[in-house]
Amino acid sequence: MDAETRAFIDRIDAFYPPEAIGLPIEENRAIYNRMSRAFHAGRPAGVTAETDSMEAGGHAIPVRIYRRDAPDKAAVVLYFHGGGFILGGLDSHDDICADLCAGTGFAVVSVDYRLAPEHTGTAAFDDAVSAYEWATKTFRRPVVLVGESAGGTLAACLAHHLRGHGSAPAGQVLVYPMLGGDESKGSYVVHAEAPLLSARDVAVYKNIRTGGEDTSGDPRYLPLADSDFSGLPPTIIFTAECDPLSSDGEAYRDRLLAAGGKALWHEEKGLPHGYLRARATVARARDSFIRIVQAVDALGRSERAG
């Protein structure tokens, strides 16, 4: 890690007391929201945002739609935020979505899916399915799935669910996602005590999301649990080197390629989980975000994606 990255980690850590993962959910959310506000980089000029909601299964799912003054209607981005399935929302990742809209020109729809522990089981996944159906009907253009951390899990699970769908995604970009890889080897061992996210943290988040149930064989929770990796959309995965989840990206790429799909995996050296918040202060993170924007842009334009 370089000095910029260490300074970013120190700044994040300053918000959290020791063993913060064990704090009550509401206290953890309050800290996370304060941290998110402190790192908010503002929205770029020429990008507007409108908060709305859609009805799904008897409840409302809030969404925030970002548009550039000079929009590009080649595709729309459906974005799922991170936060371990218990944290985050429309505000916590607002500036990231705005920057993604500015960089691609595509409308970006951020989905405020239901969180655990209030909503365990497949609630978040069900909201992702509903959001996709709403986005395809509302925008009537190709959809690129983008997810960060837990949101990357949702995006990939959604892609598996939509295999063979009449309006399947144009592609998916997954940023340091949890995909359900082998926790006995690779980055789960080498980076078990990584800053900002440890292997223990991953286990806690997973347990809260599932309500303690064994869902290891259910691809609605973890895409690597699926037995079929054929027919999936072109996929680009970005992982952080200093992150227990990094090996998941490699494993997922290999499964897609073995099934005849198109997939790229890029590990960002010397960066920790959650580095998108560092894109304004850490050169490596800024360079990675540029690559992420380029990946989304390419997948949204099928003529370039090849």
Strand partners, 53: 62
The one catalytic residue in 81, 93, 191, 273 is: 273
With residues binned 3-state (H G I as helix, E B as strand, rest as coil), the percentages for the chain, rounded to 5, are 40, 20, 40
The one catalytic residue in 112, 126, 127, 243 is: 243
Query: How many helices and strands in the chain, by DSSP H and E?
Result: 10, 8
Strand-pair category, 59-68 with 47-56:
antiparallel
CA distance linking residue 185 with residue 249, whole number of Å: 14
Query: Look-up: residue for tokens 């837990």?
Result: 150
Most distant pair of Cα atoms in the chain: their distance: 50
The one catalytic residue in 92, 149, 187, 246 is: 149
- Catalytic residue list contains 201: no
- Catalytic residue list contains 198: no
- Catalytic residue list contains 149: yes
Question: Among 273, 282, 278, 285, which residue's Cα sits nearest to residue 188?
Answer: 273
Tell me: cis bond preceding 117? Omega within 30 of 0 counts. Answer: yes
Strand partners, 237: 174, 265
> Do 272 and 244 touch, CB atoms closer than 8 A?
no
Residue 213 three-state SS: coil
Annotated catalytic residues are: 149, 243, 273
